[in-house]
Structure 1
Amino acid sequence: MTGRLGTLERIESALPDRTVVVEAMGKTLGLSRAKLSLFRKVHGLQTLRLDPGLSLVDLVLSAARGVVTGLADPLRVRYVIHARAIHQVAPAGTDIAREVRDALGLGHAEAFAVTQQNCASGLGAIEVAAALLAGGDPADRALVLTGEKPFCPQVQLVPNTAIMGEAAAACLVAAEGTGHPVLSLVSRTLGEYADLISLPAEEAARFGKAYAPTLADVIRQAVAEAGLSLGDIDLIIPHNVNLMSWRQTIAELDIPADRVFLDNIARYSHCFTSDVFVNYTTLRDDGRLAEGRHYLMAGVGAGATFSAAVLTYRGAR
């Protein structure tokens, strides 16, 4: 899907207060000292946020309330979409999207989840929201939510790649409005790597070689479909998979390393679908986004979906 994809309004994020150093994950995840050193020295991970006492609903609500509180007319929120990487985030019969919707007082809205693009599902949900709102009342909105908890070692560790942390985000999407216009959104799925976590060694190696060139190509395509050049993009706002993967992608793009915001990898590690929104709010709150300039959000989901979206910043929201 290309062209203008609505506008993004009132983006907020939240993280647990509890900080854990990477070395503390060794016993839980069965990681040797050498593997922990790989995550710190090569992949750039130092700390992450984890709070076993914080429920998933409360984690997501902590971000969502910052978006919904103060809305002139909450009844205009027609859809509540929970974008997640983990297919099963709660016990059978528990619907996180509906629980969050109801806690926000948005019981009139349709609530559902999207997940098949894994960690790229946050950007995919923006596309879904824009499609649902297209042609409707311009006052209608969709609330895109992200956030999940790595509830077992199997979903917390991507071998030799990432240790998953906790975060949540919320983004209000409009078909039109005063928010940040989305100029393009490009996704590409390499279906041959659908079973990414358990690929045979040879296929995993092929994916490793394809990763940076594919992500770089999707980024270039998104920029071109926005009618821009890479030089017009002030900053790439990435997912936090690890430093090594982004250094390889930066080399493929042939751009200066400071054109990609990588600071939060060391602070928070990879937080499933929330990374790009957490990184956006960090940059916004630090005053590093400029009115009228263009930015690119990029993420990759296991399976393997590569996504990139170009937006124009319209001031703090």
Structure 2
Amino acid sequence: MIPNLGIPHLAFHLPPHIDNVQRWAKRTRQNITTVQNLERAGMRCYRSANGQTAIALAASAIQRLLIASGIAPREVDCLIYVHTLQGSIAPPPQSLPGLLCDRFGFTNAEAFSFAQQHCASALAALRVIRAMFVNRPQMKRVLLVGADVMPLTSERLMQGEGILGDGAFAAFVERGAAVNRLLSIATHATGTGWRGVLVHDEPGQAAQHFFTARSLIRQMIQQAHFTPNDIQRVLPHHLDLPAWRRLLGSLQIPQDRLFAANFARIGHVTVSDAFINLAQCRDLVPGKPLLLFARGAGGFLAAALLVR
């Protein structure tokens, strides 16, 4: 039996240093076409860690989550750390999940990391969490935390679709939660591999991403016995805003359902976008479904359907 899970508490941390596309392009000697493409994609600024580490960002998000939720560290059964960049994980024999457990006193929590789906890892991890709850009836609460820091400013460009910013999120996934209840999760992997953020997708691959995302979302909505018009909000990853407009049009979801405010305000924060949006979207109606989505480099897609 699939347990009744939800995400009752969320928090995130964004570094205070804000940079914009124009300054970034000047420093990294980008041409005007790149800047224009980024602005068309909805990008205006991004957050820079400016020397902070991934573990520091993650710790800040966790601290905010613990204060806001009032949950004691001993009540956390498991910690799962998600990331995309290799520099965002401590090298062996250290363990970044272990370091976080030590810092906050999660003495009852097992801990591991999950990054194989790149930017889609946080949503894909919900499948792992759901399986854990199915097989462990005694499990009550999992702490899902994600953080990334881009070490090289010149590599923040995501194929002209956006700018990669630094940041972190933390969320409790709980059994029997009354809000943000998890209805379904869907993932897709093409197996094409990752050739790096600076390599442009061929037009055929970009088109395939579009059709695959549409099929994945449509199938998930149907399996949950909803229609596209039932979706009250779509919480996207912050890449290529025009493509999101086209995708919603293709799915016949009204354009005003897209939560797009954070494209220009925050930029793309790898594994964190959907959870940052969930924390900031204030006009959600109880009882109506909402869609979280993420795409990872290499052809990974993940979507989750929640009900407020």
TM-score, structure 1 normalization: 0.89
Instruction: Report how many aligned residue pairs link the two structures.
Output: 306
Give how far 1:252 is off. 2.1
- Amino acid of the structure 1 residue aligned with 2:35: L
Give how far 1:37 is off. 2.1
Work out whether residues 163 and 269 of structure 1, in 8 Å CA contact, stay in contact via their aligned partners in 2.
yes
Give how far 1:200 is off. 7.8
What is the match of residue 46 of structure 2? 48
1:50-129 equivalences under 5 Å are: 50-69=48-67, 70-90=69-89, 92-93=91-92, 94-129=94-129
Work out whether residues 159 and 197 of structure 2, in 8 Å CA contact, stay in contact via their aligned partners in 1.
no
**Alignment partner of 1:162: what SS?**
coil
Work out whether residues 242 and 270 of structure 1, in 8 Å CA contact, stay in contact via their aligned partners in 2.
no
What is the match of residue 14 of structure 2? 15
Question: Distance in 2 between the 1:87 and 1:239 partners?
Answer: 20
Work out whether residues 75 and 108 of structure 2, in 8 Å CA contact, stay in contact via their aligned partners in 1.
no
Structure 1 position 259 matched with structure 2 position 252: no
- Amino acid of the structure 1 residue aligned with 2:143: L
Work out whether residues 129 and 144 of structure 1, in 8 Å CA contact, stay in contact via their aligned partners in 2.
no
Question: Distance in 2 between the 1:194 and 1:273 partners?
Answer: 18
Unaligned runs of 5+ in 1: none
**Could you give the per-residue CA deviations for residues 96-143 of structure 1, whole angstroms, max 9, x where no partner exists?**
222222212113311111001110001011221221122434562110
Question: Distance in 2 between the 1:200 and 1:268 partners?
Answer: 23
Work out whether residues 5 and 185 of structure 1, in 8 Å CA contact, stay in contact via their aligned partners in 2.
no
What is the match of residue 185 of structure 2? 185
Work out whether residues 158 and 198 of structure 2, in 8 Å CA contact, stay in contact via their aligned partners in 1.
no
What is the match of residue 231 of structure 2? 233
**Could you give the per-residue CA deviations for residues 56-89 of structure 1, whole angstroms, max 9, x where no partner exists?**
2221112112222354443231211111122342
Work out whether residues 59 and 147 of structure 1, in 8 Å CA contact, stay in contact via their aligned partners in 2.
yes
What is the match of residue 303 of structure 2? 308
Change in Cα spacing, 1:123 to 1:52, as seen in structure 2 (3 Å) is same
Change in Cα spacing, 1:72 to 1:139, as seen in structure 2 (3 Å) is farther
Work out whether residues 77 and 139 of structure 2, in 8 Å CA contact, stay in contact via their aligned partners in 1.
no
Give how far 1:194 is off. 1.6
Work out whether residues 120 and 302 of structure 2, in 8 Å CA contact, stay in contact via their aligned partners in 1.
yes
Across the aligned residues of Structure 1 and Structure 2, the Cα RMSD in angstroms comes to: 2.3
Question: Distance in 2 between the 1:145 and 1:39 partners?
Answer: 28
Unaligned runs of 5+ in 2: none
Work out whether residues 3 and 184 of structure 1, in 8 Å CA contact, stay in contact via their aligned partners in 2.
no
**Could you give the per-residue CA deviations for residues 179-234 of structure 1, whole angstroms, max 9, x where no partner exists?**
4211100111112x323537987x62211111222111111111112221111110
Question: Distance in 2 between the 1:153 and 1:199 partners?
Answer: 12
Question: Distance in 1 between the 2:166 and 2:26 partners?
Answer: 19
1:151-300 equivalences under 5 Å are: 151-153=151-153, 155-191=155-191, 193-197=192-196, 204-283=202-281, 287-300=282-295
Work out whether residues 5 and 130 of structure 1, in 8 Å CA contact, stay in contact via their aligned partners in 2.
no
Work out whether residues 133 and 142 of structure 1, in 8 Å CA contact, stay in contact via their aligned partners in 2.
no
Work out whether residues 138 and 175 of structure 1, in 8 Å CA contact, stay in contact via their aligned partners in 2.
no
- Amino acid of the structure 2 residue aligned with 1:107: T
State the percentage of identical aligned residues. 25
Change in Cα spacing, 1:126 to 1:258, as seen in structure 2 (3 Å) is same
Question: Distance in 2 between the 1:77 and 1:130 partners?
Answer: 16
TM-score, structure 2 normalization: 0.91
Change in Cα spacing, 1:139 to 1:47, as seen in structure 2 (3 Å) is same
